[in-house]
Structure formats: C-alpha cells, structure tokens
Amino acid sequence: MDHFGEAVAARYDDGEGPEFVPGTIARTVDFLYAASGGGAALEFGVGTGRIALPLAGRGVPVRGIDLSRAMTDRLRAKPGGAEVPVTVGDFAQTVVPGTYALVYLVFNTLMNLPTQEAQLACFRNAARHLAPGGRFVVEVMVPELRGLPHGRNTVVFGTGPEGWAYTEYDTVTQRADCHYLRVTPDGRGSHRTVPFRYVWPAELDLMARLAGLRARERWGGWGHEPFTETSRAHVSVWQKPVGTEERVAPGSPTSA
C-alpha cells in the first residue's frame, strides 16, 4: 500500500525536520559521493529527490525506485529531475537495468517495509543490483524503546498547534505504527497512520550476511560521528565481496 499519496507529496518538501536542513543534506551527499567512488548509484525510496538531485549534481549517475507516483512526479518536475530515471515499484522486489557502485536508503525508509521478510528481500535486492565491491548504505533510527515506561507502548515525537504525532509500538512483532493527527485552521481534523517495522543494528547485519554482503562500517551520523550506546540513529555500510558470487533467495522479482 502507498502511504505517500498526493496529500503527503504536496507538502513533503515543506518538512521542518533535521533531514531537510541544507547542512544535513550536504553531509549526506558528501558521504554517499565518497561511497560511490564516482560510480553509478541507485536510491531505494527516491521520493521527491531530496538526496538524489544534489548527488546527481555532483556528477554521480543516479537512478531511483519508489512506490509513490505522487512523490516521483514532484521529482521529475524539479530542475534536473528529468535526468534521474525513476521506476515506480516496490524497492524490495523491483529490478532495474544495470549494476551499481552504490545502493542506498536514507531516513528510516527501510522501516517502511513492515515485515522482516520484506526487509530481508530489500537487502537481497540491493545485493542483486550491486557490482562486485559495491556498497549498500542505510540510514535508520535506533529503536526508541528506552522511551517506553514499563507497560506503556506509545512515544510522542511531535506536538504543536497544528497537530500531534506519536508512535505506537508492538514489542512482540517489532511493528511501529506512526499516527499523525492534523488540525486545520477551521478546526477540522485528520488522522493518518503509517505502519513501520523497527529493526536493530545486529539484525541488519544478519540480513546483510544472508544476502551475501559484508559489514564494512557503522557511524552515528553522516558526519562520521562514532556509533555509541547513546546514538539515536546509525548510518551503516555493507559491501558486496569482489570475486564472490552473490547469495540471493530464489524467485523472480517483478519490474515496474
């Protein structure tokens, strides 16, 4: 299901979170540019091109996959957007032409895949698209379970006069439903729920191994901050071995 339709896409680029700050975007692009080694890159969940467009502006050939037509329509309408080929489809399954020096997922997009099976399929799809020696880079939060008092399952992460946002956790299934409540100036309200599946760093490393990738590095942020027990997110890098056949699950992914 596409949870990023027209209503969300229309205001997505107006976001005020740290991921939209020019300095954060610059650090992200610097990191990915170095990881690509100047080779071609494939973004899973390319969205409106927040990262793809400045990365392409650095001379990296970028291609994208995204489930939302509304988001990718906005990418294509931006300056340089027509030069970034986009395939509409599920990035855990969709196959596009070519091999890439870099495949990447930013800002918790991996958690939009709501099951462990889908997340593992994403790693296998990344490995499928990587050239030998290529890297898979993922930015994702560390689960916020420390914010849950015993017996509670909700963490509020946004409050204001225009609405509220909170996450409802199921610690048995690792499902996390993010609820967004908005209030318009005329007093009307709306409620949107987006399902996620939170995932631990060690679990990601195991998924990578099952996909034939090797752990290379992990940082607390795009500026190469150390990853520690207090880090709230991480940027992890896995690499496809050189001279070793990839190990992927049998099956025929669909192209969109």
Q: What pLDDT does residue 245 have?
A: 47
Q: What pLDDT does residue 34 have?
A: 98
Below-70 pLDDT ranges, the chain = 1-3, 5-6, 8-13, 15-16, 20, 244-256
| pLDDT tens per residue, range 48-91 | 999 999 999 999 999 999 999 999 999 999 999 999 999 999 99
Q: Supply angle C-alpha 139, 49, 136, rounded to 5.
A: 35
Nearest to 37 by CA among 81, 100, 125: 100
Q: What pLDDT does residue 162 have?
A: 82
Please give the structure tokens belonging to residue 66. 């995204």
Q: What pLDDT does residue 248 have?
A: 42
Place of tokens 């090797």: 214
CA dist., res. 127 & res. 241, Å (int): 10
Q: What pLDDT does residue 5 have?
A: 62
- CB neighbour list of residue 142: distance below 8 Å, 6 or more residues apart: 200, 201, 231, 232, 233, 234
Q: What pLDDT does residue 10 have?
A: 64
Q: What pLDDT does residue 255 have?
A: 39
Pick the CATH number of 6-143+199-239 from 3.40.50.150, 3.30.420.10, 3.20.20.70, 1.10.238.10: 3.40.50.150
pTM recorded for the entire structure: 0.86
Which sequence spans correspond to the domains of the chain? 6-143+199-239, 145-195
Q: What pLDDT does residue 12 have?
A: 63
DSSP string, 196-216: EE---HHHHHHHHHHTT-EEE
